[in-house]
Structure 1
Amino acid sequence: MDKEQIGIPKLRFPGFTGAWEQRRLGDYLSIPTKEPITDINELKLMTLKLNLEGITLSANRETLKLGATKYYKRHEGQLLYGKQNFFHGSIALIPKEAEGYATSGDVPALDISNVNSKYLVDYISRPSYFKAKEALATGTGSKRIHEKTLLNFKIAVPSLEEQNAISDFITNYTNLIALHQRKLEHLKQQKNGLLQKMFPKNGESVPDVRFPGFTDPWEQRKLGDQMYIKARIGWQALKKDEYMETGDFYLITGTDIDESRHIVDLSRCFYVSEERYDMDKKIQLQNGDIIVTKDGTIGKVAMVTDLDKPATLNSHLFVLRDLSGHLDKYFLLTILSSDIFKSFVESTKTGSTLTGLPQKTIVKFKFQIPSIQEQRKISTLFKSVDSLIALYQRKLEHLELLKKGLLQQMFV
């Protein structure tokens, strides 16, 4: 094995002092004997996620044919990677439950020895590592990293004891992130359950669950009834080079919507000149307005809050503002961010080539409302749930950023 001392990491566990060594991946990885699948009944397909969360197993042999594409058996503990997707972090260890599953030759497996396998995968899974290897890919069309090329990649390696310590720490940290992810998903499921129980089903006028003291049936309403609905008419000659990095007038676009909290993230916004802001008073925004994307990713919804400067819309959004005085703003936001509105949006696409949500369509959206007092009770409940979801979302994002920073400092 080639050995070359290359320094020490910025962040290190107590008790470890020696310099790390530079090696080749080929010192720890080897190409196994291929085991081609010859019987379709033996074929269980293994696909690899691109987000470093591991492997997804799927047995869909009914749609596969053994022929030009050859499939090979893979075994527990092998390193699996995508030749084309290596640059996106398509790397994982094969778990016990995937023993005997198969992949094509474009997703090869390599045997691992003489190294902590989780340490090795954590090392080469870092974006700063695999992105630096793109220039080594081959092919005139789809660029690929073949096994023999991969084996020549460099890797920095400490003692086995330090490898184990790093691997254990990262595993525990990853498990902590997964725990927060499960809590977040559980909260979202609870919210969906509440939405199903606290809003009437199709054809009914009362929900399954209500606050005490409310018994009146809900009333049906169309979104176009006493609702201010406006959008920018085309671009009005607004050009990309007029989007300013700083300024006094926000230009809010669909990409500024924080979908997890259904708010506008003002830190993402561009700005426009005062002349552009004044051009169309109908789309000048107020706190409490609700915006809905009508082109591109249709149906993203957010409430405008915490405006500290005047704001206007780009051409892909509606602004909605209740004019009746009988509709709570957060209740409307809850309706529009629920599956009730999503189902409506999807139904408008059925059997058509619709690529947008025109005003003549959105005004037809029907939903049911109770009294304003009951709406406010419901809004208060969902505000609390949404705040809790946002809290866990921020915790999760913080943990993921912290992990990314730790990985940068714990490896050479």
Structure 2
Amino acid sequence: MSEMVPKIRFSSFTETWKKRKLGDLVEEFIIKSKTEDAYIVLSSTNSGMEVRDGRVSGSSNVGYKIIENGDLVLSPQNLWLGNININNIGIGLVSPSYKTFKFTNIKSSFFNPQIRTQKMLEEYKNASTQGASVVRRNLEMDSFYQIAMFVPNIEEQEKIGKFFKQLDNLITLHQRKLDLLKEQKKGFLQKMFPKNGAKIPELRFEGFSDDWEERKLGDLATSFEYGLNASAKSFDGTHKYIRITDIDDSSRKFNSQSLTSPDIDLSSADNHKLKNGDILFARTGASVGKSYIYADSDGLVYYAGFLIRARIKSGVDSNFVFQHTLTSSYENFIRVTSQRSGQPGVNAKEYSTFEISVPSYEEQRKIGSFFKQLDDTIVLHQRKLDLLKEQKKGFLQKMFVS
């Protein structure tokens, strides 16, 4: 029998890990409900267990399988896509189409971090045969039971399981904080800009009382310019190139993970260099309306042809204008204006007609600064969350034997 050790392990553990087959670690069981709605109905998905509002299918859940905390649940047709979970919700009912198992000779907390690793997904796929469609693959139970993994003694299993549970809890905590911040921002966007023809917003900084004025975006910008008609090449270390796909859908920040440069002679492209406070708009396709505000911290950036640059006038706060592009009124404007017989689109002239409610410059600055700080906080939490997820990936690679 093969024996190995992981690259990283807790001190005091020196025994080699033993190779075991799933058939020795799990045991299928079937306990069916005999009464209607005996427990809550649960569903196994590719991302976790969920409580279902009602029945999974059919008119009765008599005969559904009863599961408890710590039981393994999987879909024989979608296992290779990651539909496998350890129940952590409590006693409940699942569809008879699921396979249900008890763990034997292994801690569920040790198995859980590995349940949907790429290695295990490949194992599940190899243990399945092509079904009625490309997505559906039928699990061959004999092959499933032959899947092998390396297992330490119970004490080390518990230690590793506890470590990953704490890490998952930390990731969940940061995800909740991030989600809460995003929801708070949505609320502020709704209340800090006037709506439905109102002259003032619901929520306002102290010291401001004047009515807001309705202005067109074209009145707030000195110019609208289309981007470079150039393809992208490998990043040259200096000249960055921003395209629609380089603007993050959620944060609207410049995604600089895979930088490129314009594949063109840049000696006459100064007009396409972004300046602090410039706002870009996607002009065509599924991403029409997507916006981005440039900051000097993004470096030397040129913008591509499917983007339109609005250069905001002095005496107008760019951050204030940019936040308007994240409101429901802007979404409605894009939805109506982008309608075409073919691909959706909004040109520069049409963007210039977007109506914005504008207060005094001082109030603009106050609002723009408030949202910039909120955006920076959201980005910071996102980075922390991404770092935790990357750290988990690293631990998964080094704390288990593959």
TM-score range, shorter chain: 0.7 to 0.9
Contact 1:49–1:55 under 8 Å retained in 2: yes
What SS is found at the alignment partner of 1:10? coil
2:46 maps to a residue whose letter is L
Question: Which residue among 318, 338, 345 is the counterpart of 1:357?
Answer: 345
What SS is found at the alignment partner of 1:268? coil
Q: Could you tell me which residue of structure 2 aligns to residue 333 of structure 1?
A: 322
CA deviations over 1:339-362 (Å, ceiling 9, x no partner): 342343345579x87752322654
Distance 1:363 1:229 in 2: 8
Distance 1:273 1:349 in 2: 29
Question: Which residue among 73, 89, 96 is the counterpart of 2:65?
Answer: 73
Q: After TM superposition, give the deviation of residue 376 of structure 1 in Å.
A: 0.3
Q: Could you tell me which residue of structure 2 aligns to residue 101 of structure 1?
A: 93
1:205 maps to a residue whose letter is K
Distance 1:355 1:147 in 2: 48
Q: Could you tell me which residue of structure 1 aligns to residue 167 of structure 2?
A: 173
Distance 2:353 2:34 in 1: 55
Question: Which residue among 223, 231, 246 is the counterpart of 2:226?
Answer: 231
Q: Could you tell me which residue of structure 1 aligns to residue 300 of structure 2?
A: 309
In structure 2, relative to structure 1, the CA distance for the partners of 1:207 and 1:43 (3 Å cut) is same
Question: Which residue among 397, 406, 411 is the counterpart of 2:386?
Answer: 397
Distance 2:127 2:383 in 1: 37
Contact 1:260–1:390 under 8 Å retained in 2: no
Question: Which residue among 21, 44, 48 is the counterpart of 1:24?
Answer: 21
Q: Could you tell me which residue of structure 1 aligns to residue 247 of structure 2?
A: 257
Distance 2:163 2:180 in 1: 26
Question: Which residue among 295, 304, 308 is the counterpart of 1:318?
Answer: 308
In structure 2, relative to structure 1, the CA distance for the partners of 1:310 and 1:254 (3 Å cut) is closer
1:411 aligns with 2:400: yes
Structure 1: state its 5+ residue gaps.
none
Q: Could you tell me which residue of structure 1 aligns to residue 158 of structure 2?
A: 164
Q: Could you tell me which residue of structure 1 aligns to residue 373 of structure 2?
A: 384
Structure 1 residues 298-307 or 164-173, which shifts more?
298-307
Distance 1:223 1:148 in 2: 66
Q: Could you tell me which residue of structure 2 aligns to residue 47 of structure 1?
A: 43
In structure 2, relative to structure 1, the CA distance for the partners of 1:408 and 1:310 (3 Å cut) is closer
1:321 maps to a residue whose letter is R
In structure 2, relative to structure 1, the CA distance for the partners of 1:290 and 1:112 (3 Å cut) is same
For normalisation by structure 2, the TM-score amounts to 0.85
Q: After TM superposition, give the deviation of residue 204 of structure 1 in Å.
A: 0.9
Distance 2:11 2:200 in 1: 63
1:182 maps to a residue whose letter is R
Q: After TM superposition, give the deviation of residue 265 of structure 1 in Å.
A: 2.6
Q: Could you tell me which residue of structure 1 aligns to residue 177 of structure 2?
A: 183
Question: Which residue among 212, 215, 220 is the counterpart of 2:214?
Answer: 220
In structure 2, relative to structure 1, the CA distance for the partners of 1:349 and 1:254 (3 Å cut) is closer
What SS is found at the alignment partner of 2:311? strand
1:145 maps to a residue whose letter is L
Structure 1 residues 198-207 or 251-260, which shifts more?
251-260
1:358 maps to a residue whose letter is V
Residue identity over aligned pairs, in percent, reads: 30
CA deviations over 1:82-127 (Å, ceiling 9, x no partner): 3454344332112344x3322362x433232232112112223222
Q: After TM superposition, give the deviation of residue 256 of structure 1 in Å.
A: 1.2
In structure 2, relative to structure 1, the CA distance for the partners of 1:118 and 1:354 (3 Å cut) is farther
Q: After TM superposition, give the deviation of residue 207 of structure 1 in Å.
A: 1.3
Distance 1:38 1:361 in 2: 62
Q: Could you tell me which residue of structure 1 aligns to residue 289 of structure 2?
A: 299
What SS is found at the alignment partner of 1:55? strand
Q: After TM superposition, give the deviation of residue 219 of structure 1 in Å.
A: 0.9
Contact 2:124–2:144 under 8 Å retained in 1: no
1:195 aligns with 2:186: no
Structure 1 residues 361-370 or 339-348, which shifts more?
339-348
Q: After TM superposition, give the deviation of residue 150 of structure 1 in Å.
A: 1.9
RMSD of aligned alpha carbons: 3.2
Question: Which residue among 239, 253, 259 is the counterpart of 1:269?
Answer: 259
Q: After TM superposition, give the deviation of residue 38 of structure 1 in Å.
A: 10
CA deviations over 1:25-51 (Å, ceiling 9, x no partner): 111222323749997x78975433433
1:163 maps to a residue whose letter is Q
The number of aligned residues is 392
Contact 2:208–2:363 under 8 Å retained in 1: yes
In structure 2, relative to structure 1, the CA distance for the partners of 1:218 and 1:301 (3 Å cut) is same
Q: After TM superposition, give the deviation of residue 223 of structure 1 in Å.
A: 2.7
In structure 2, relative to structure 1, the CA distance for the partners of 1:47 and 1:381 (3 Å cut) is same
Structure 1 residues 214-223 or 88-97, which shifts more?
88-97
Contact 1:229–1:319 under 8 Å retained in 2: yes
For normalisation by structure 1, the TM-score amounts to 0.83
Q: After TM superposition, give the deviation of residue 15 of structure 1 in Å.
A: 1.4
Structure 1 residues 300-309 or 184-193, which shifts more?
300-309
In structure 2, relative to structure 1, the CA distance for the partners of 1:387 and 1:232 (3 Å cut) is closer
In structure 2, relative to structure 1, the CA distance for the partners of 1:84 and 1:339 (3 Å cut) is farther
Q: Could you tell me which residue of structure 2 aligns to residue 114 of structure 1?
A: 105
Q: After TM superposition, give the deviation of residue 160 of structure 1 in Å.
A: 0.9
Distance 1:37 1:318 in 2: 64
Q: After TM superposition, give the deviation of residue 329 of structure 1 in Å.
A: 0.7
